[in-house]
Amino acid sequence: MPSLPLRCCLLSGGESRRMGRDKALLPHPEGGTWLERTLRLLADLHSPITLLSRHPQHLVLAERLGKELRPSGEQPQAGHSPLTALAEPPPWEGPLLALHRLMQHHPEERLLLCPVDMPDLTLAALHTLLAAAAASPGRLPLAHDGTRLQPLLGLYPSSAPIRAHLAAAMQRGERRLQGWLADLPCQVVPLDPRAIRNQNHPSS
């Protein structure tokens, strides 16, 4: 059975309460914002990208960047844009609901889920995750920093069985990503903890 096509999905809809300001719009040492830096990093995988965010400024930045990522002279075509910016509607109840919405929007694709608050994420870490997926196609590869699981960085196939399993969990009222993953075959993928560090506070 052929592998599902890859799509990179960036989650950028949080409130950034612990940071005290919008993390996605913080300046990155490599230039631009955390949001733009992560989108450019995902673009290096040469697969379509979807940004899901409730914040209008994030969507505007992504749409502008999408025009830069498109080859010169190429006109946007339905289903062929390198970067899709999706406005996340209420209710905003965390990453599991966000993943459910992404799966409904992108059926029959492999969704590389990524959070906006890993400012030191590397292409090497992403390739390690993809290699783990290729080696164990029947399991969900999830990042691990050596101390704990980081399931916001992982590969989630939007196949019919997985979509149905997630939809049933949502109907039961499940809203915790790790709660949903508890009875699914997962593969822990150790990654450099510096590359997948979540930065949630100004001093971290």
Q: What are the extents of the domains in the chain?
A: 6-190
Residue 79 has pLDDT above 60, yes or no: no
Name the residue with higher pLDDT: 159 or 14: 159
Predicted pLDDT of residue 13: 73
Q: pLDDT digits over 123-153, tens only?
A: 999 999 999 999 998 899 999 999 999 999 9
Q: pLDDT digits over 99-113, tens only?
A: 999 999 999 999 999
14 Cβ contact list (under 8 Å, min separation 6) = 23, 116, 117
Which fold is adopted by the domain 6-190?
Spore Coat Polysaccharide Biosynthesis Protein SpsA; Chain A (3.90.550)
Predicted pLDDT of residue 140: 97
Predicted pLDDT of residue 86: 96
Residue 176 has pLDDT above 70, yes or no: yes
Least confident of 6-10, 36-40, 77-81: 77-81
Predicted pLDDT of residue 171: 96
Predicted pLDDT of residue 93: 93
Q: How far is CA 142 from the centre of its chain?
A: 12
DSSP state of 173: T
Alpha-carbon torsion (52, 99, 104, 4), positive or negative: positive
| pLDDT confidence bin for 21, thresholds 50/70/90 | confident
Locate 154 and state its tokens. Answer: 């992982």
If one counts every other C-beta atom within 10 angstroms of the C-beta of residue 34, the result is 22
3-class secondary-structure state, position 92: coil
Amino acid symbol at 162: I
| pLDDT confidence bin for 204, thresholds 50/70/90 | very low
Residue 77 has pLDDT above 60, yes or no: no
Residue 24 has pLDDT above 90, yes or no: yes
Residue 51 has pLDDT above 70, yes or no: yes
Least confident of 15-19, 124-128, 159-163: 15-19
Residue 202 has pLDDT above 90, yes or no: no
Residue 19 has pLDDT above 50, yes or no: yes
Locate 40 and state its tokens. Answer: 């450019």
